[in-house]
Structure 1
Amino acid sequence: MYLVGEGMTGGYGGGDILRDCTIGVEKGEIAVIVGPNGAGKSTAMKAMLGMLRLRLGSVVLDGKNITTLSPQARVAEGIAFVPQTNNVFTGMSVEENLEMGAYLRRDDISGTMEQVFALFPILKEKRRQAAGELSGGQRQQVAVGRALMTRPTVLMLDEPTAGVSPIVMDELFDRILEVRDTGLAILMVEQNARQALNIADRGYVLVGGENWRTGTGHELLANPEVRKSFLGG
């Protein structure tokens, strides 16, 4: 797999939050991590980003072992992360937010900016507006757009639809599908399990920091145990 966290075990000081947990994603694919609150979903993603020291296990990106690399070094290797909150500079314009995403680049960023505007037309329309004045869904588009300015090969999203309306959630998922179709590997943690599995090529259900069920999004949606436990029947 293009990015895989294999047998990840670890936590923050006390006990292990993750126990022999394996999560992976291919290029051109959306992998979704779902499960109850406290299942270790965000922790698994943070471990793959290098924000959590693993006691056991490894993280491999495109055949390269990145287990000991810092989060910054992983970003330089092509991983972009969009946190759930505080993910835009509210006092800056949309365009300035996107420029901030490319601060490590030394080449011409205008082509990438045009690609972001093509994916998110509303951002082109509002590019001079302060990000803080935008709606929640539009801010999320700014946050994803800023991440794409680094030209990543992997995009990690931590609950991208938290706190937005169902209509906005559908629109965000449509945009995420378009990003996937550009060939990126997308890994996301999502509370809206049913909707997320609906667009997932690969799904991981975590319980207690362990893999409970794994399959395609449609397999998991059709699984009676998954439906009963997480999807309200």
Structure 2
Amino acid sequence: MSLPFLIGEQMTGGYGRGADILHVCTIAVDEGQIAVIVGPNGAGKSTAMKAVFGMLNLREGSVRLDGEDITHLSPQDRVAKGMAFVPQTSNIFTSMTVEENLEMGAFLRRDDIRGTMAQVYDLFPILKEKRRQAAGELSGGQRQQVAVGRALMTRPRVLMLDEPTAGVSPIVMDELFDRIIEVARSGISILMVEQNARQALAIADKGYVLVQGANAFTDTGKALLADPEVRQSFLGG
């Protein structure tokens, strides 16, 4: 079997010197696929993704990207390796324009960014329309598009999204999920934490259900949606 493109394997750890939040937790995503992490509040979903991005110390386990051990790299070094992370909140510069936000996403690049900017505007046409507007004046859904667009400006190989549809309307959620599918089809791997579990699993190639920082169920999104125990316990029957 070939190794996943990105894997956080048997991760145990927490923040600082605090108690472990993750317990032998494994999260992985294949190239150009969508992996979704779901579970109840306090299950360690965002912590698992932050661990993969290097934002907490692992006491056990490892993280590998395209076969390379990156367990001890800083988040900044992981960005340089092709990882992009969009946090749930405080994920845009509100006083800057939409276009300035996108330009900030390309701060590590030394090449011409106009082609990538055009791709982001193709993906999110509303951003092109509002490119001269302060990002703080946008709606919640539009702000999320700016945050995702800025991450895409790094030309990532893996895009990590923490609750991308939090606080947006169902229509905006569906639209964001459609764009996420488009990004994955372009060959970028997507690792996503999502509260809207049923809708997220519907677009997922792989799904992880976490409970108390450990893997409870792992399967394809389709199989998890069909699993009676998963449906009963985590999807409202």
With the shorter chain as reference, the TM-score category is over 0.9
Q: Which deviates further from its counterpart, 196-205 or 8-17? A: 8-17
Moved over 2 A (4+): none
Aligned partner of 1:8 in structure 2 is 11
1:81 alignment partner, SS class: strand
Once residues 229 and 166 of structure 2 are traced to their aligned partners in structure 1, the CA distance between those partners, rounded to angstroms, is 25
| Structure 1 unaligned residues grouped into runs of 5+ | none
- One-letter code of the match for 2:134? A
Q: What are the residue-to-residue correspondences of 1:97-116 with 2, within 5 Å? A: 97-116=101-120
Task: Provide Cα deviations, 1:43-99, integer angstroms capped at 9, x if missing partner.
Answer: 000000000100000000000000010111111100000000011111111111000
Once residues 31 and 139 of structure 1 are traced to their aligned partners in structure 2, the CA distance between those partners, rounded to angstroms, is 23
Among 159, 164, 167, the residue aligned to 2:168: 164
Q: What are the residue-to-residue correspondences of 1:126-145 with 2, within 5 Å? A: 126-145=130-149
Q: Cα distance, 1:11 vs. partner?
A: 1.1
Q: What are the residue-to-residue correspondences of 1:20-169 with 2, within 5 Å? A: 20-169=24-173
Q: Cα distance, 1:15 vs. partner?
A: 1.9
- One-letter code of the match for 1:18? L
Q: Cα distance, 1:191 vs. partner?
A: 0.4
Aligned partner of 1:221 in structure 2 is 225
Once residues 22 and 88 of structure 2 are traced to their aligned partners in structure 1, the CA distance between those partners, rounded to angstroms, is 20
- One-letter code of the match for 1:77? K
- One-letter code of the match for 1:218? K
RMSD over aligned Cα, in angstroms?
0.6
- One-letter code of the match for 1:10? G
Q: How many residues are treated as equivalent by the alignment?
A: 233
Once residues 90 and 36 of structure 1 are traced to their aligned partners in structure 2, the CA distance between those partners, rounded to angstroms, is 31
- One-letter code of the match for 1:66? I
Q: Cα distance, 1:14 vs. partner?
A: 2.5
Among 161, 182, 187, the residue aligned to 1:183: 187
Task: Provide Cα deviations, 1:149-207, integer angstroms capped at 9, x if missing partner.
Answer: 00000000000000011111111101111111110000000000000001101000000
1:58 alignment partner, SS class: strand
- One-letter code of the match for 1:6? E
* Identical-residue share of aligned pairs (%): 79
Q: Cα distance, 1:10 vs. partner?
A: 0.7
Once residues 205 and 196 of structure 1 are traced to their aligned partners in structure 2, the CA distance between those partners, rounded to angstroms, is 12
Query: Could you state the TM-score of these two structures normalised by the residue count of structure 1?
Result: 0.99
2:58 alignment partner, SS class: coil
Q: Cα distance, 1:103 vs. partner?
A: 0.8
Q: Cα distance, 1:30 vs. partner?
A: 0.5
2:190 alignment partner, SS class: strand
